[in-house]
Chains A and B, each alone.
Chain A
């Protein structure tokens, strides 16, 4: 039943945009039809995954398929269900938001294209999570990856959108290349292309190469530092609901790949765990470091995705180390922490991108230093952003705390695995604490600069509250953050099922026994109650306070909105401390004489990997291969001739 439901969901979502393509541009009814189809598909997928999580067993389907090395094999087990549920919920909410954010009457040029490929991305993600044969997995992976390219470059009339689109395309092609190599090695070592037969390959000497290739291919999609180069630009320039889906679920398919790959190995070598923990620390700390230095609201959020992927990798690393040293409690804590953080990050990051989209829609700018004082005009959007900010920093009483707590507990208990794991945990836990505190600095900065204070530009002054179609998905996501935070014990059975599916041979203890989910939720609820009590106590007092005057500002008589602390000035101290990694470039104004003329100041933090490593390398490659340009004539018959020649040569060679 589960399998048929999810197959129906794939069919429905894949074709949800087709009616739009058959309608004329001007008709607007199709956008509702398309969203309805997608929602129906998502509901099927969600039902299927809830069934699989509750039933504690997978449902599988196999059929012959006349593709070389392929057979149709689909299975919804607890691991897949965790991801299917998230894909279903977030893509449906994103589609509803899209109705208000990208309406056909305002976006006649690309609205139909956007909706059609949005459905394809959804279907591709669903397909790859339930696929059990390598060929089917790659079909899902490629439809997701290529359709996402179209989504990223929706506004392809803008040059910067084209640039990030091509960068995304290049990265995703490279990721697929790594995956082809990985699947080839897996198939050769295990003799089958079925994902369930890979236990054999994981006992062969090829397993380290397989893991390294998987780490590269899936890591590129997940945006692990230093493979994150495509992520900030793509997330910043895509339409906001697409950014939400990309950051919330699309990059998680990379995490899914890593989870599925490590699941196959019953006795992973410890270095897998160390590699995951090291990459997790690097992504978490530098992800938030780069985020702090951004001036662009959505780019900043994108770098926080890198940070959160780092936290997820830390959890996965703990689980792998637990499995390789034989400590079931570590497996349970690490994997449950990683998977719960996958869910949590989906909830609060989608919420943040959607509220950032509402800000962009209302003001027309993503520049932090041109916003300000939006709370007055957009209190609901502001509240949504505040909830998302508190949640992403892992603060009580919301959901981020629960998954970070599981990861922390796992890191603290790594010592039971011996000297190496103890040192790994002892370095990773404080690094995670540093990343958390920096994330707090970053989000309080964004919330303060965008929503509090006075408007810094006329665009911010004229903002209006977002419409109900934008607010409803935000409200649901914010509610989700609160529910996971206050009702964490309810999720334990689902996470237990996923842990068992990941490591069936380990008799991992249930989460209820190793993690304090009940006490954390209870403490969060008590905190909320205490805050409500304080509000009731303070309320009358505050309303009586006179508000006739402006901010005191240390006696300065005529402060203006432009004299407020900006996002850049707030982050300046921290960016200075991390200058060894961030390498900020500054253009200082030159002031001369007692009455200097107008001067300007610019600061910019380029992406370290992209702008300082990859660009120079690719320029070198470009120069080397320029000599081959004469054979690129641009005529198709020549290319076919090349292919023919290559085939003939290969046949002779064999």
Chain B
């Protein structure tokens, strides 16, 4: 019991403390590839601390929804993070069918993030809102195709079962299906977290942004919540991809935590490499890539027909 409690505690520490580090690693990798030295790895923590200390301004047009957006986004991402198993350990919250709660809790966060953008009445934020809604809708089927494959391979209907020790064995019997899931979920990770090639987090032109333009009017602590929530979402999707790509179930539990931390940093570095070597897609091309990822994921269940 106490061992389980200790693992839940480690899970919480990872979820709460690690996300900004991933953002730092991505920025650093990207800078190194561009021949610069880049910001320190811990810079995102300093940025968050600075934002939380600042004051903020609100537009006359806005209502409480504007404030609810970042808060609901963070809380729902936290709930999702408690449902995903990390490093092969059972997640703190786990039950049959929890994958639906996972997807729809993130949906609630998206609902309020978009509503908060529309609350400002600005056309720019409207653009960001429409793009966010469209692209995440296209990413959703890929997520479920992957979950179907994992559910079939593991014989379980909970995330902890699907992404648990059964994955390692499934690579032997259903490797092709899992490979298609890994590729398509990596694309979903990039899209859901507004990374290159879908969106450039460092762009300076509002007309072409997705996530940054969505939160254009948020400032101070609210902007801090937005950044923190976005980093946590990146962490959660990274954990999903890693649970399939680098299954750690069956190892020594404490070694698994260390390996998970290393794998997360490695994944962040991989995202940084993608950002460093690729250009942003033109907006009209984005849906094609998402549909391609979805079609690739759709092959997964076919491999499991028997």
Contact = CB atoms under 8 A, between A and B. Distances in A.
* Same assembly: yes
Contact of A569 (B56, B98, B126): B126
A395 B115 CA distance: 14
Contacts of A436: 104, 107, 140
Given A401-B101, A441-B133, A570-B130, A454 B217 contact: no
The dominant DSSP class at the B interface is helix
Interface stretch (B68-76, B230-238, B240-248, B254-262): B68-76
B172 interface: no
A160 interface: no
Contact of B121 (A427, A430, A453): A453
B71 A552 contact: no
A573 B141 contact: no
Interface in B83-135: 93, 95-101, 103-105, 107-108, 110-111, 114-115, 117-127, 129-131, 133-134
A444 interface: yes
A547 B115 CA distance: 19
A440 B137 contact: yes
Contact of B110 (A372, A373, A434, A440): A440
Contacts of B9: none
- Residue of A440, A544, A559 with most chain B CB atoms under a 10 A cut-off: A440
A426 B104 contact: no
Interface residues of A, number: 81
Contacts of A563: 123
A106 interface: no
A556 to B, nearest CB: 9
Contacts of A409: 96-97, 100, 157
A654 interface: no
A538 interface: yes
A436 B62 CA distance: 27
A433 B144 CA distance: 7
Interface string A534-554: 110010011011111111111
A100 B136 CA distance: 41
- Residue of B119, B143, B145 with most chain A CB atoms under a 10 A cut-off: B119
Interface string B276-306: 0000000000010000001001100100111
A519 interface: yes
B5 interface: no
Contacts of A523: 79, 93, 98, 101
Given A373-B121, A409-B100, A444-B118, 15 more contacts: A375-B63, A423-B305, A437-B140, A440-B110, A445-B118, A448-B114, A452-B115, A520-B97, A538-B71, A550-B61, A553-B123, A554-B122, A565-B123, A565-B126, A565-B127
Interface of A: 372-373, 375-376, 389-390, 393-396, 401, 404-405, 408-409, 412-413, 415, 419, 422-423, 425-427, 429-434, 436-438, 440-441, 443-445, 447-449, 452-454, 515-516, 519-520, 523, 526-527, 530-531, 534-535, 538, 541-542, 544-554, 559, 561, 563-565, 569-574, 577
Lowest 9 A-B CB distances belong to which pairs?
A565-B126, A448-B118, A453-B121, A426-B301, A441-B133, A437-B137, A430-B141, A519-B95, A437-B140
